[in-house]
Amino acid sequence: MGSGEYSRDQRYLATRITADGRDGYPVEPGRYRLVVSRACPWANRAIIVRRLLGLEDSLSMGVCGPTHDERSWTFDLDPGGRDPVLGIERLQEAYFARIPGYDKGITVPAIVDVPSGKVVTNDFARITLDLSLEWTALHRPGAPRLYPPELRAEIDEVNEVVYRDVNNGVYRAGFAGSQEAYEEAYHRLFDRLDRLSSRLESRRYLVGNTITEADVRLFTTLVRFDAVYHGHFKCNRSKLSEMPVLWAYARDLFQTPGFGDTIDFEQIKQHYYRVHRDINPTGVVPLGPDAGGWLTPHGRDSLGGRPFGDGTPPGVASVSGR
């Protein structure tokens, strides 16, 4: 690893919730709580997939506030600053219930076993796949196939490079500790975005002709790009809105039920600009950019494809989003 290069801690609680309960946690409606923050791109994946699959009534959702301190995410959006289901003020409490003194990252998304109050998993990459593969008995009628068997190898291949160069690439640029590390991450990011743009010139979605897990994973970075990564993380060769193909692709997804209705730009900006004081010492949160452009026509329909395949869109999002 080069000097000053940012490295993400990838030590997660990898216990899985499965249909057969082989890890000790069987899929059960109402037993678990998905804890997220709307600010976090990794948690945003789980929010989107939960909604697309119609799991709202089976898997409740606790929403942390957009900021946190070194100890943990907090439930400051809830009355009294306490999650109404878990009864805790800090997500840290659910981690400590599982492993006393847990010394790795207290991250979202996390799925908590409500009866015991213990975190089951915070393995964000596996969580969304298992929602697709293991929770099928609880999916809504018409739920899309986000990880179909015939496309999994290609989805995995796309996800690998998108994670390395884009999802985590913006962080590698933003948290670089040297000019050399920053420039390497910057070039890898925009080289990959250029390749993705070429890929999407003639196809509506990344893999196949419907929305898949690959689109969910790219979207959560793209939707934060102009509001946060362009300036805050110095990813400033181009704004998303200056990359025509990716901008149209992202708007297409944003306007698809289950995507844009999970986004809160104010919470996104509050998180990055207030928490990362080493990058933004004043904690001042920018007022822009204007989010109105996300609702402008995208013209991607002309490429064909059907967002939900043989399925249907999810219903109207609840006011609370819970």
Annotated binding residues, as ranges?
Answer: 73
> Which own/partner pairs from 2-5 qualify as long-range (CB within 8 Å, at least 24 positions apart)?
2/178, 2/180, 2/181, 2/184, 3/177, 3/178, 3/180, 3/181, 4/176, 4/177, 4/178, 4/179, 4/180, 4/181, 4/182, 5/172, 5/176, 5/177, 5/178, 5/181, 5/184, 5/185
Residue from 6, 12, 163, 171 carrying the catalytic annotation: 171
Which residues does residue 37 pair with via DSSP β-bridges, in sequence order?
64
Which residues does residue 308 pair with via DSSP β-bridges, in sequence order?
none
Annotated binding residues for glutathione, as ranges?
Answer: 73
User: Quick check: is 205 catalytic?
Assistant: no
Half-sphere exposure of 268 (CA within 13 A, CB side): 23
Distance CA 293, CA 18 (A): 40
Q: What is the DSSP letter of 99?
A: S
User: Quick check: is 235 catalytic?
Assistant: no
Residue from 25, 32, 40, 64 carrying the catalytic annotation: 40
Q: Which residues are catalytic?
A: 40, 171
